[in-house]
Chains A and B, each alone.
Chain A
Amino acid sequence: MTAMHDELTDQPQTQPLDADIVCTGFGPAVAGFLWTLTQGLQKPEMAGVESKAMPGLPPQIVCYERADDISFGVSGVVTRARAIRASIPNLDPAEIPLAARVRNEKLIYLLDPLGVTRRPAWMRLADQLCRAFSGVLGVAHEGMALPWVPEFLHKRDGFIFSLGQFNQWVGQQVMMSGLAQIWPATPVAGPLIEEDRVAGVRLAADGSEVRAALTVVGDGPVGAVGRQLDEHFGMPAGHRRDEWAVGMKMVIDLPENCTLEEGTVWHTIGFPEPEIFGFLYVHPGRIASAGIFVPSWMDSPVRTSYRYLQHFIQHPYLWRHLRGGRLRSWGAKSLLESGRRGEPFLAGDGYARIGECSGSTNVLTGSGVDEAWLTGTQLAEAVLELLREGKPFTGENLENTYVARRRASWLEHESQAAEKARNGFQWGLLPGFLGMALAGLTGGRLSLPRPREDRHPKKLTDYYAGRLSRSEIERARQRAEAESRPLHDILMDMCGWPPVEYDGQLLVSHQDALLMGGKVQAPADFPDHVVFRSPQLCLQCEAHLCVEICSGEAIRISPENPAGVPAFDREKCVHCGACLWNCPVSNIEFCAAPGGLHSAEN
């Protein structure tokens, strides 16, 4: 007790800190914001602009990032980079590790080589036709490159990035300007809201208040600040956030004999489940990123991402290139796929929202990083305008500058085209593909209507009807609880999915992926950031989707308490936030905390 007391009293007193602009999160949106803002502040016309928080000095701009380094973001980025190139016209990918120009882009239909996926009849028929006419259709290795990549999907004039490396590069340039400070390992607990005005943020580490005239909210789809603003201000009429996905990826050292060229981009459909889309990008230096997206509209109650990812990379079409490779990095994140329908109020008194948490991701083009960057640059241009004119950061002024720029840009135009593109997936897979094609090929003028009720995960017994009996499922559940194994692993085994033969290099256990790939860390001095609010609700929950979706196996059914509240191990948490949107009764508190992934290559 004495030691703890001493430590606490050793801490300096927390006094409110003053800044002019405080940013939450350092992802591509805030990177774009700070890049544009710091460049703009160096122009002669901004020479007279000084800080209101610290008169006599330049505007005081701080950014707080939750992760332990600014390069620990997760995203396999293949992007047309229109906005990034507009900001950085001389961008040379050679300056940024793992960056390359897109050279060879394909859309691949992957057949089911195992005969175990939940394919609808039309897809099974498609597989049979593909095999029967393989010579004519060019089917090889259980995959077929479609004859063209739809215009709305292509990235042929763009770049492949590692978001971590890109953020690192941008962050260095921004900080070297001396005009902005980016603080890693500094999670923000929430906004300071005073009479519907955002007056700054509160830091999680010591409860410090950082007061600022403008709070820039770019803390991603599951960020604490964005969610609290949504709770306080609500969402615009008709807007809601109900489409999500877990994106999980590996960065792989390709084997010596691999013939894939740098700049290769494959988008895949069809495997490991029809609802799961995949990708493979080839970076310079014989390195590839491969990953999958597990969507919220997939009606499986056992939405394991890691095991699906292992089966994905072992598909013959990919495995012929990846076999013998080595896991270099691994990571996962939540993607907000509601697009413009999930757009919150973009600005208000004292705050503006940018990036994925502002609904900028385009679900039709499968693009988010460039869009996020663009929203950041638009806000920075607006801020420069307001600073130049000496106007305050009121909701009205931000609407007239930032939101107006956004509405007039290609982002808005393309977001509208994409707004209803995913409606069809709420009806089923075929309507989903048709709906996407319809919206994509008509620029959003035509689309399928959305059903009154969205698709939700089924009950286990319904989902496995015809494949596993109720008693088999019950036995699997008991086994999972007794052995403290994920239920999905056992159920997939029972449905005929082959076991994954670990090679210790690329095919490794989930826990080894956390250690070898994600390098996951948790600081000792923070409390658990995932909290189950009501034990009673957990007791009533049959599905425990939080356990099944958890990207790091950090949430488990404890053998000591099999029917009760799941156990949370923060040393395994990658902060993807998937538990948050998978809990059917919103019983999870997901707080901001440092730690998580420590790989700079995702």
Chain B
Amino acid sequence: MPYQIIVCGGLAPDPLQTLEPVFDPAKPSLKNELMLPAVFDPWAAHALYEAGHLAKQHPGSLVRVVSLAPKAKLQQVMMTVAQKLPFELVALDGPGGGFTDAAAVAAALADAIAAMQDLDRSRLLLFGGWESATRGAGVVMQRAAERLGITEQFLAVDELSVDADGSLLVKERIEGGRHQISRCSSPPAMLAWATGNLPEPPNHPQTGMANMRVIMPALQKAKPVTLEPSAEFLRTALPSAIRQTRVVKDVPAAEIAQEIAEWIRQ
């Protein structure tokens, strides 16, 4: 069965850059946020790769990315993401990053999806990241699915396969380092992905050029979205990081891993 796979994914500042929170209770942000290089949120990126993989296995499937982010930034990031696999884009021009309210973001995404004229809910798989690299509230996908009336929801998904009868077998992470496998008889379903099992596809310039023929017009007509602030921020801080480097040679990986584990324990 061909699917309509919709991947919700925003942008995250490139975590390798110097990130400096600027605190303003009404509108906290990162210093020079618009000039920081951004990446497609890595959690959503896993979902996108899984979507591409599934679409390839089921000819006729369509992958769409719905993204809420500043348009200029989104365009820049799409120049890399578009080289990975074929997809269409629905762009929402609005604030991105880690200081937006999850419910407001979910509402904007769900409304954009609901407005798609050719939406076929019997084929709809709503994909996204279980978490986000920006703040990690981890609730956008559930809220969006609820708003769209999708009751079959799976979190922290690591694997999806389609059985011969068309039912979906979904492997979710659960506590204690275990997986739970569920069977879902048919779409619509929402899958919020953990890391999945697929590597990042290599860049393919031809795919990128083909994608941009539909992505550029989508960016041009990106709908402006305003998110009403509903959260009060008391303070902002980056996760603390400690770095210790030691160069070792000819040491077995197991020994290195043991040492790192000890270091973390301490």
Binding site for B on A (CB under 8 A): 10-12, 14-15, 17, 62, 64, 68-72, 96-97, 165, 168-169, 171-172, 175-176, 178, 181-186, 203, 205-206, 208, 210, 285, 328-329, 484, 504, 509, 511-512, 515-516, 519, 521, 523-525, 559, 594, 598-601
Which chain B residue has the least Cβ–Cβ distance from A504? Answer: B243
Provide the residues of chain A in CB contact with B208, threshold 8 Å: 183, 186
Contact of B36 among A68, A185, A594, A600 (CB under 8 A): A600
Provide the residues of chain A in CB contact with B249, threshold 8 Å: 484, 559
Provide the residues of chain A in CB contact with B216, threshold 8 Å: 178, 181
Q: Is the CB of A206 within 8 A of B206?
A: yes
Binds A, one of B76-84, B99-107, B166-174: B76-84
Q: Is the CB of A69 within 8 A of B37?
A: yes
Query: In the assembled complex, how far is the CB of residue B108 from the closest CB belonging to chain A, in whole angstroms?
Result: 22
Q: Is the CB of B83 within 8 A of A599?
A: no
Query: In the assembled complex, how far is the CB of residue B28 from the closest CB belonging to chain A, in whole angstroms?
Result: 18
Q: Is the CB of A186 within 8 A of B203?
A: yes
How distant is the Cα of A96 from the Cα of B205 in the complex, in angstroms? 30
Contact of A511 among B32, B36, B247 (CB under 8 A): B247
In the complex, the number of residue pairs spanning A and B with C-beta atoms less than 8 Å apart equals 108
B29 at the interface (CB under 8 A from A): no
Contact of B203 among A12, A71, A594, A599 (CB under 8 A): A594
Closest 6 pairs between A and B when the two form their complex, measured CB to CB: A525-B202, A519-B16, A97-B32, A69-B37, A598-B16, A172-B72
Query: In the assembled complex, how far is the CB of residue A202 from the closest CB belonging to chain B, in whole angstroms?
Result: 11
Contact of A71 among B37, B75, B202, B243 (CB under 8 A): B37
B117 at the interface (CB under 8 A from A): no
Provide the residues of chain A in CB contact with B247, threshold 8 Å: 509, 511
Q: Is the CB of B83 within 8 A of A600?
A: no
Provide the residues of chain A in CB contact with B16, threshold 8 Å: 519, 521, 598-599
* Residue contacts A-B, CB under 8 angstroms, 11 given: A15-B206, A183-B83, A185-B203, A206-B205, A210-B205, A511-B247, A524-B199, A525-B203, A598-B14, A600-B35, A601-B18
Query: In the assembled complex, how far is the CB of residue A252 from the closest CB belonging to chain B, in whole angstroms?
Result: 11
Provide the residues of chain B in CB contact with A594, threshold 8 Å: 203
A182-B79 contact in complex given A175-B72, A601-B18, C-beta closer than 8 Å: yes
How distant is the Cα of A169 from the Cα of B202 in the complex, in angstroms? 27
Query: In the assembled complex, how far is the CB of residue B167 from the closest CB belonging to chain A, in whole angstroms?
Result: 25
Query: In the assembled complex, how far is the CB of residue A362 from the closest CB belonging to chain B, in whole angstroms?
Result: 28
Query: In the assembled complex, how far is the CB of residue A567 from the closest CB belonging to chain B, in whole angstroms?
Result: 12
B240 at the interface (CB under 8 A from A): no
Provide the residues of chain B in CB contact with A509, threshold 8 Å: 245, 247
How distant is the Cα of A422 from the Cα of B19 in the complex, in angstroms? 41
Interface centre among B18, B80, B216, B245 (most CB of A within 10 A): B18
Within 8 A of A (CB), among B175-220: 199, 202-210, 212, 216, 220
How distant is the Cα of A175 from the Cα of B216 in the complex, in angstroms? 10
Provide the residues of chain A in CB contact with B75, threshold 8 Å: 175-176
A512-B206 contact in complex given A178-B216, A183-B83, A600-B14, C-beta closer than 8 Å: no
How distant is the Cα of A111 from the Cα of B72 in the complex, in angstroms? 49
How distant is the Cα of A523 from the Cα of B200 in the complex, in angstroms? 10
Looking at chain A's contact residues, is the secondary structure mostly helix, strand, loop, or mixed? loop
How distant is the Cα of A185 from the Cα of B31 in the complex, in angstroms? 25
Contact of B18 among A17, A208, A329, A515 (CB under 8 A): A329
B123 at the interface (CB under 8 A from A): no
Q: Is the CB of A205 within 8 A of B76?
A: no
Q: Is the CB of A205 within 8 A of B204?
A: yes
How distant is the Cα of A280 from the Cα of B247 in the complex, in angstroms? 31
Q: Is the CB of B203 within 8 A of A96?
A: no
Q: Is the CB of B245 within 8 A of A511?
A: yes
A97-B35 contact in complex given A182-B79, A185-B83, C-beta closer than 8 Å: yes
Provide the residues of chain A in CB contact with B32, threshold 8 Å: 97, 165
Provide the residues of chain A in CB contact with B147, threshold 8 Å: none
Q: Is the CB of A172 within 8 A of B83?
A: no
Q: Is the CB of B76 within 8 A of A516?
A: no
How distant is the Cα of A178 from the Cα of B217 in the complex, in angstroms? 9
Contact of A183 among B36, B199, B205 (CB under 8 A): B205
Q: Is the CB of A208 within 8 A of B205?
A: yes
How distant is the Cα of A511 from the Cα of B35 in the complex, in angstroms? 27
Provide the residues of chain A in CB contact with B212, threshold 8 Å: 181
B56 at the interface (CB under 8 A from A): yes
Contact of B76 among A15, A172, A525 (CB under 8 A): A172
Query: In the assembled complex, how far is the CB of residue B114 from the closest CB belonging to chain A, in whole angstroms?
Result: 28
Which chain A residue has the least Cβ–Cβ distance from B247? Answer: A511
Provide the residues of chain B in CB contact with A168, threshold 8 Å: 35, 37
Which chain B residue has the least Cβ–Cβ distance from A71? Answer: B37
Q: Is the CB of B203 within 8 A of A512?
A: no
Provide the residues of chain B in CB contact with A71, threshold 8 Å: 35, 37
Query: In the assembled complex, how far is the CB of residue A271 from the closest CB belonging to chain B, in whole angstroms?
Result: 28
12 additional contacts (CB under 8 A) given A176-B72, A601-B18: A64-B205, A70-B76, A71-B37, A97-B35, A168-B37, A172-B76, A176-B75, A184-B79, A186-B203, A206-B206, A328-B18, A598-B37
Query: In the assembled complex, how far is the CB of residue A10 from the closest CB belonging to chain B, in whole angstroms?
Result: 7
Provide the residues of chain A in CB contact with B206, threshold 8 Å: 12, 14-15, 17, 206, 208
Contact of B204 among A12, A68, A172, A515 (CB under 8 A): A12
How distant is the Cα of A322 from the Cα of B76 in the complex, in angstroms? 35
B258 at the interface (CB under 8 A from A): no
Provide the residues of chain B in CB contact with A598, threshold 8 Å: 14, 16-17, 37
Provide the residues of chain B in CB contact with A186, threshold 8 Å: 83, 203, 205, 208
How distant is the Cα of A484 from the Cα of B79 in the complex, in angstroms? 40
Provide the residues of chain A in CB contact with B210, threshold 8 Å: 12
Query: In the assembled complex, how far is the CB of residue B215 from the closest CB belonging to chain A, in whole angstroms?
Result: 10
Within 8 A of A (CB), among B35-64: 35-37, 56
How distant is the Cα of A509 from the Cα of B243 in the complex, in angstroms? 12
How distant is the Cα of A104 from the Cα of B243 in the complex, in angstroms? 36
Which chain B residue has the least Cβ–Cβ distance from A168? Answer: B35
Provide the residues of chain B in CB contact with A523, threshold 8 Å: 202
Provide the residues of chain B in CB contact with A559, threshold 8 Å: 249
